[in-house]
Chain A
Amino acid sequence: MLLPLLLLAAAQQIDSIPPRVAPRTVAVDERLAGDVGLRVGDRMVLSSTPGGPGDTVIVGALVQRAADPSEVARAEYRVRMHLDELQSLIGYGDRVDRFAVQTRGGAHTDSAIRAINHAAFGFQAYRSREIAVETSQTFLVVSRFHRAIGVITIVASAIFLLCIMLLKVDERRRDVAALRMIGISARSIVRSVIVEAASIAVAGSGVGVAIGWAASLGINWFYRGVYRTPLAFAIVTPGIVALAVALSIVLGLVAGFLAAQRLVRTPPLELLSGRREQRGAANAAAI
């Protein structure tokens, strides 16, 4: 674990006492550079304790944050230094927090892990995959949360769609009654309503995908600004589009079918005269 490094003085400030050796270079987080106005070539003093003695270093590079979700909520600055310089600065001696080891892969990795763990005392070798699984737990939780919210949204959308289709078909009861009275079969009417429902669902899906795509652009623009990260927060993939369109078409068809069935089961004369409604109103009045 690195001790927190405190920035004591920033750009254009050179120690009054010249360093004995040429200053080393460091790479600076672009957030830090942006906040204090650092540029490549600037000098600064790094210290492990506030007000304590420090090392003068030169900004050799500005580092952009990786698109790593684990970095998103972390606001602290990062400075990348040469290992020996950091060890010296924080009094860490000949110690490191971890080694990254590259193997020839496959069975070589297994034998390397076995050999290291056999010889190790007080430390242990892990596969990168195991560490990735462990450190990605947070995002698995967030992913499960998003899925749960998605299911609730789908339920709400389904009810909304069913409601709209019922209203839409209900509005046309007089047309349907007229069609039935001139001899059009109930089956044809159901089909025509289903085709209409499917058309509405397809059109709605198209508009929905466009809105979703625009919203994802807005979300990414906003959160990238807030967290200063290149990470994509919302992605519209072909799979997501296909799922959304398929869901809305299926829901639209089911809603259209249910609404059409309700209409064709009512006698045409009742539909035309609105007696069904009157009966409902009379019942309500009686209540």
Chain B
Amino acid sequence: MLFHLAWATLLRHRGRTVLTVLGVAVSAAMLLDMVMLSSGMRASFRNMLVASGFELRIAPKGTLPFDTDATIPNATSIAHRLQADSDVTTVSPVLGGQLHVTVGQRTINATALGGIGRVQGDYDITDGRVPSAPDEVVASAEFLRASGLAIGDTIRAAAGYDPELRTTTGSRALRIVGRAHFVYLPAEQRAIALPLETLQRMQGARSTDRVSLFMVKTRAGANADTVLHRLQRTLPNVSMISTASAMQQVDQRLSYFRQLALILGAVSLAVGFLLVTTLVTVSVNERLGEIVIMRAIGVARERIVLQIVLEGIAIMLAGAIVGLGLGLLTARYLNSILASFPGLPAAIDFFLFEPHDAWTALGLLTAVGILAGVYPSWRGASLPIALTLREEAVG
């Protein structure tokens, strides 16, 4: 009965109801997008960090991994000390740099990552195999596309230039043995991965026994933060970053988007609230006579309140369902805009849909729908019966 009456009231002014549902749908879409934005980039960044199973990253003191060109000296000694810890299972050293690859008359610049093939976590092989010999490399699809080279080809790469002697430095012939997807690099980045020692030698004295980063896996069941604090005491001259502290850094750098999401999400809720409150209030004002007659024939005040609140909830839910689809479409569009950030890893999504987001948005909208109906319904149900009947009858 209650549902039937609420439904009938909404259908009485179809145009108005449809328009309100549409307005709520746009608000709901915006709300869903903002909920996705506030949690999506954290979730996708976290997924990217933990995908390869490395819980700790060790960077030069005071820096984040690859945030600067700084490197860690005495890499061999540090690697041994890390491996000596009973909770550490894998240590993967990485050295970054630039390689200048000569292809015919052209020179192609590529990001170079030097690592140990069997323990590296920077790339996944999509074709071919991991480099094992000193003169073997794998390359990103973008590098192969730009250079026109293929697996099996040999390239000549240099690590730098000497302007005074007008020669390249650290030049070496390398053979491409695979195509790789680089996890932490943008999709359009031209990249090459090669053995650590090869890159160190190509870069010369400035990189002897130096690395840019260590990635560390811990034993299953070990607390990464406990291991981090223990290692930090023995190696005070490097910065150690756990997944949790990396997330904090990301939060700090991307706080703008989270705050934007919070503000726009709140505005969306407020717009939805105002829209539904206005509609329900006008609707109650239009049928004061009907409401007091129901009161006069013995319908309880609570049932009248409930019926009017149901109207608000129905509008909100209808709007939320339409808004869910709309929100997913707009999220895809907005994500495509933000995905073009220079240097953003391809694995990062700003708008990542998780069922939890949809439930959060739906819960907030339902709560707002209830709130929106409370005031007008209480006002309608509290009217003095005799006086209102007389006013409605006389006009």
Contact = CB atoms under 8 A, between A and B. Distances in A.
B34 to A, nearest CB: 9
Contacts, number: 126
Q: Which 10 A-B pairs have the closest CB atoms?
A: A122-B161, A284-B11, A284-B8, A159-B23, A1-B69, A156-B26, A280-B12, A121-B166, A50-B237, A50-B61
A137 B338 CA distance: 11
A285 interface: yes
Interface in A12-70: 49-51
Contacts of A1: 68-69
A28 to B, nearest CB: 16
Chain B at the A interface: SS class:
helix
Given A121-B166, A152-B330, A166 B19 contact: yes
A73 interface: yes
Interface residues of A, number: 46
Contact of B282 (A123, A171, A223, A284): A171
Chain A at the B interface: SS class:
helix
Contacts of A262: 15
Interface stretch (B126-134, B146-154, B271-279, B306-314): B271-279
Interface of B: 7-16, 19-20, 22-23, 26-27, 29-30, 60-63, 68-70, 73, 160-163, 166, 168, 236-237, 252-256, 264, 268, 271, 274-275, 278-279, 282, 285-286, 330, 333-334, 337-338, 340-342
Nearest to A122: B161
A43 B174 CA distance: 51
A283 B11 contact: yes
Contact of A159 (B22, B236, B286): B22
B35 to A, nearest CB: 15
B253 A141 contact: no
Contact of B68 (A3, A122, A156, A167): A3
Contact of A4 (B70, B168, B256): B70
B342 to A, nearest CB: 5
Given A121-B166, A156-B271, A166-B19, 11 more contacts: A75-B252, A122-B161, A122-B168, A148-B334, A159-B22, A166-B15, A167-B279, A167-B282, A170-B16, A277-B12, A284-B10
A164 interface: yes
Contacts of A149: 264, 334
Contacts of A223: 256
Interface of A: 1-4, 6, 49-51, 72-73, 75-76, 120-123, 137-138, 141, 144-145, 148-149, 152-153, 155-156, 159-160, 162-164, 166-167, 170-171, 223, 226, 262, 277, 280-281, 283-285, 287
A123 B161 contact: yes
16 contacts: A2-B68, A3-B69, A4-B60, A6-B62, A49-B237, A73-B256, A120-B163, A148-B334, A156-B23, A156-B26, A159-B19, A160-B271, A163-B16, A164-B278, A280-B11, A284-B7
